[in-house]
Structure 1
Amino acid sequence: MLLEIILAALISIILGSVGYVFGVVNVRGFISGVVLSVGILLCFIYGYQNTEIGIKWFLLLVGFVVIGGISTRYKYGVKDKLHVAEKAGGRGVGNVMGNGFSALLCALLFAFTQQYMFLIGYVCAIAAATSDTVAAEIGQLAKKKPIMITTFKKVEVGTDGGITPLGEISALAAAVLIAAIPLALGIGDAKMLLVASAAGFIACNIDSLFGATLERRGIFNKHFTNLFATLSGAVIGILIFMHV
């Protein structure tokens, strides 16, 4: 197992270093991201007793980091002028755990139970995190003002709970991209693709709903909003998978 731990650490450090170099995460975000990544990879290696398959499931997390990083840096100057760009220095511990804890929890549950439903939850949690990140980063570039998800009234760019057609389309596309990774790697099937795409997109809008209500009232901060949205994505995905 020592070799697997070293491998997990190396892969996670490389992944985190890329994010740090491109300003996607700060130092604390880098460290917490490495710890979370190592945990997820080891869970799958332990659960399957197979390093190759474990790495394949880990690649979903890589997909989130890559897609999220690209969307964050895309037209950063424009978003900065609108005062909605991700703060200088990159995302920190709160961002990392808010987006990644649900996936880690599902991976941990799978490691100890080998229950397929937790693989579904893992994929859906990452699809939700990716969908929400891309929706926020790309949706802010829409030419028309966003509307509040609860009232459909126009609001300023960057308002919690604001949505745009561009953001919604981007959210769905991001969820589908993540959900397609297991199928492409030969570890998932079409049902997983459909369930994770739907659950990820639904969870993204739950995030917006939480933002419009609980976050705007100061009950949640954005990190707790992300945490509950990704967790709801995992739960919704599992429920859909079990009953469809």
Structure 2
Amino acid sequence: MNQSVRRAAAFAGIGTLALAASVLVAGVAALFAALGALALVVDEGKAFDLLARPSDRREGRLRGLAAFAFATAGLAMLVMLVDLPVHAFVAAVLLLSYGNLAERLARQRSSSAIAATAAFALGGFVAAIAAQSVALAVVAAGVGSRPEVVFLAASGALLAALLRSVLFERDDPLVLFSVALLLWLFTVLTVNVTLLEVALAIAVTVGFGYLSWALDTASVTGMLTGALLALLTIVLGGYPWFAVLISFFALGSLSTKFRYDEKRDNGVAEANEGARGGGNVLGNAAVALVAVIAFAARAHLPFAGDVFLFAFAGSIATAMSDTLSSEIGGVFDDPRLITTLEKVEPGTDGGVTWQGELAGAFGATIVAAIAVVLFGTVGALGGAVVALAGVGGMTVDSLLGATVEGELVGNQTVNFLATLSGAILGGALALLAGLS
């Protein structure tokens, strides 16, 4: 066992102390606050040698332990002051602690990034289930929904793995707070699924994520982002919602590979051989995720659930339309700037071709057709609304590309704003048409 594994095991042992919150939250808050203060004054000895990270050794202080301890104490205070559920608190702490330990053990055996990521997610998932089970048994006398426990563990593990893939080890407090707040949100929502349905959702999500990575359509970060989006879409929305989402990922990935060498020669191809990163995935699907969560929280909101369905479909139709327009249109050499129609070089922001516009309209129509077939409340008129929202969002993307993209905002921000406009347009048109 090397030093990094021993350190991770020690942190996991310290994190396990958070389970005492099931009995006395104030005691846990005080314990971890004291531990954090102590870590800042310890600069030698066996404890320092065991718990110090490389940066701690350079600075002569256990800053990593102090940050972890103070973050845990802060979350314990949220349990006392604003009713953060105890089982969400202990799940977040043990998920991160044991996820890190599992990752370190995996790195001893393999240098593969995907193996380390999978180990972190699996270790954190199992630890979160165990932590919630203990907390619910003590605090609620065994009362607790097993499907909810498993769903919280899976969504928390995916979010933590995603954040760990883009952040540094010193950022673990941020990961801890993010996971705890996500789990808190989901405890508020009504998740009406069985244990079998959650298990199937996790299996589909894992398969989808692995396939996207194995086919080089997504990086590890992109894979985790897509997997988290898929899980939340299935559980909070349902499989028809997932089918709409997966249509974008599937056709979008295929269009990225379409005549890739030509697009690379023209300077318009996606980097990394077309493998999309987490930022790209979020830029195209973050609005859809918000729409799914809003649908799940519709009992607490003033709008009917169908508004969020059309917002979701409109954002995905925009993402599909924009992706196909860019990837298909990128192989043609006669783009024109959408604002002036003057000829521009391939790859110019805001440049469009008639072939790309046609491909984009086709992409929006595909999403609309899927929505019509799978959602009984959409109908032909609703399909037209989704298609119009997609084309409208694609047009907004091109206009933003021609006017503000570059010095002011990046491509991912433009994608986000475009999908937001498609979602707003879809929801607004549905209201005007009396579809919700």
TM-score, normalised via structure 2 length: 0.52
Question: What secondary structure sits across from 1:122 in the alignment?
Answer: helix
Contact 1:171 1:204 in 2 (8 A): yes
Residues 44-59 of structure 1 mapped to structure 2, 5 A cutoff: 44=237, 54-59=238-243
The AA in structure 2 aligned to 1:163 is V
Quote the offset at 1:203 in angstroms: 0.3
C-alpha separation in 2, matches of 1:152 and 1:182 = 34
Residues 74-153 of structure 1 mapped to structure 2, 5 A cutoff: 74-89=258-273, 90-113=275-298, 115-142=305-332, 144-153=333-342
Higher alpha-carbon deviation: 154-163 or 13-22: 13-22
> What CA RMSD, in Å, does the superposition of the two structures yield over aligned residues?
1.4
Bigger CA radius of gyration: 2
Contact 1:147 1:164 in 2 (8 A): yes
Question: What secondary structure sits across from 1:58 in the alignment?
Answer: helix
Residues 114-193 of structure 1 mapped to structure 2, 5 A cutoff: 115-142=305-332, 144-187=333-376, 188-193=378-383
Contact 1:32 1:96 in 2 (8 A): yes
Quote the offset at 1:185 in angstroms: 2.4
Quote the offset at 1:156 in angstroms: 0.8
C-alpha separation in 2, matches of 1:147 and 1:82 = 15
C-alpha separation in 1, matches of 2:271 and 2:215 = 13
Quote the offset at 1:179 in angstroms: 0.8
2:207 maps to 1:23: no
C-alpha separation in 2, matches of 1:100 and 1:8 = 19
Contact 1:9 1:34 in 2 (8 A): no
Identity of aligned residues (%): 36
C-alpha separation in 2, matches of 1:98 and 1:78 = 25
C-alpha separation in 2, matches of 1:6 and 1:86 = 34
Contact 2:240 2:375 in 1 (8 A): no
The AA in structure 2 aligned to 1:60 is V
2:200 maps to 1:43: no
Contact 2:372 2:379 in 1 (8 A): yes
C-alpha separation in 1, matches of 2:404 and 2:206 = 35
C-alpha separation in 2, matches of 1:22 and 1:135 = 22
Quote the offset at 1:22 in angstroms: 2.3
Higher alpha-carbon deviation: 169-178 or 74-83: 74-83
C-alpha separation in 2, matches of 1:237 and 1:109 = 15
Question: What secondary structure sits across from 2:393 in the alignment?
Answer: helix
C-alpha separation in 2, matches of 1:16 and 1:171 = 26
Contact 1:161 1:211 in 2 (8 A): yes
Of 209, 226, 239, the residue aligned with 2:399 is 209
C-alpha separation in 2, matches of 1:93 and 1:9 = 19
Question: What secondary structure sits across from 1:215 in the alignment?
Answer: coil
Contact 2:318 2:393 in 1 (8 A): yes
2:95 aligned partner:
none
- Higher relative contact order structure (alpha carbons within 8 Å, sequence separation ≥ 6): 1
The AA in structure 1 aligned to 2:315 is A
> Residues 84-131 of structure 1: CA distance to partner in whole angstroms, max 9, x if unpaired?
111115111110110010101111111111621100101111000000
1:65 aligned partner:
249
Question: What secondary structure sits across from 2:272 in the alignment?
Answer: coil
Which segments of 5 or more consecutive residues in structure 2 lack a partner in the other structure?
1-146, 151-194, 299-303
Quote the offset at 1:186 in angstroms: 4.6
> Residues 32-55 of structure 1: CA distance to partner in whole angstroms, max 9, x if unpaired?
1111211122211xxxxxxxxx11
